[in-house]
């Protein structure tokens, strides 16, 4: 298997957007008949802007010409804190591996590429949301469950 890990560019918008919808359907257990047109439109706009201004990095993984996976990281700034004096943060998202390619280290390598990029930018505060399937991978890498965050949602 000759895998290649490619940093996504603006020429990859279609595959990034389609994969985002696939990941969201899987993570939220949504059927194909659930309308995701607005999410798709907003995801396309997000990728266009974030790739241009370098606030998002995504990797696309291929086995020759076959798309087998992806992973992304978003960069943002918050107020500095004692534990994060720069206020720079990163959020890992959209991790996906084609079911036929799982358990071969692809997601781990993708995660490592993303974390390495963040660390090279001086970012130490890296977070993510984990599905039950992904949690063992992230724990193996060293991510720990957070206890102090809260979220307000509709």
In a domain, 70, yes or no: yes
Indicate the SS3 state at residue 54.
coil
Q: Residue 77 maps to which CATH number?
A: 3.40.630.30
Q: Kindly give the confidence (pLDDT) of every residue in the chain, 154 residues in length, as a single tens digit, with 9 standing for 90 and above.
A: 689 999 999 999 999 999 999 889 988 889 999 999 999 999 999 999 999 999 999 999 999 999 999 999 999 999 999 989 999 999 999 999 999 999 999 999 999 999 999 999 999 899 998 888 889 999 999 999 887 777 777 7
Q: Which domain holds residue 36?
A: 3-141
Report CA Rg, the chain: 16
Q: How far apart are CA 15 and CA 109, in angstroms?
A: 20
Does residue 147 fall inside a structural domain? Answer: no
55 in Cβ contact with 74 (< 8 Å): yes
CB atoms within 10 A of CB 52: 10
Q: At what angle do helices 37-52 and 13-27 cross, to 10 degrees?
A: 130
Whether 76 is in a domain gets the answer yes
At 26-47, the pLDDT tens digits run: 888 899 999 999 999 999 999 9
Q: Is residue 152 part of a domain?
A: no
Domains in the chain: how many in total?
1
Contacts of residue 27, defined as CB under 8 A and 6 or more positions apart, other chains included, come to 131
φ and ψ at 44, to 5 degrees?
Answer: -60, -45
pLDDT of residue 4: 96
pLDDT at 140: 93
């Amino acid at each position: 298997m000759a895998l290649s890990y490619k940093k996504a560019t603006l020429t990859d918008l279609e595959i990034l957007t389609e994969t985002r919808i696939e990941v969201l359907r899987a993570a939220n257990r949504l059927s194909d008949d659930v309308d995701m047109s607005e999410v798709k439109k907003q995801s396309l706009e997000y990728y266009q802007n974030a790739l241009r201004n370098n606030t998002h990095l995504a990797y696309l993984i291929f086995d020759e010409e076959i798309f087998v996976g992806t992973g992304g990281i978003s960069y943002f700034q918050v107020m500095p804190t004692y534990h994060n004096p720069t206020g720079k943060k990163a959020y890992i998202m959209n991790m996906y591996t084609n079911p036929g390619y799982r358990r071969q280290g692809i997601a781990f390598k993708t995660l490592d590429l993303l974390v390495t990029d963040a660390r090279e930018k001086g970012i130490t505060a890296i977070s993510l949301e984990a599905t039950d399937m992904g949690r063992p991978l992230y724990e193996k890498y060293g991510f720990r469950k957070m206890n102090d965050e809260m979220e307000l949602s509709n």
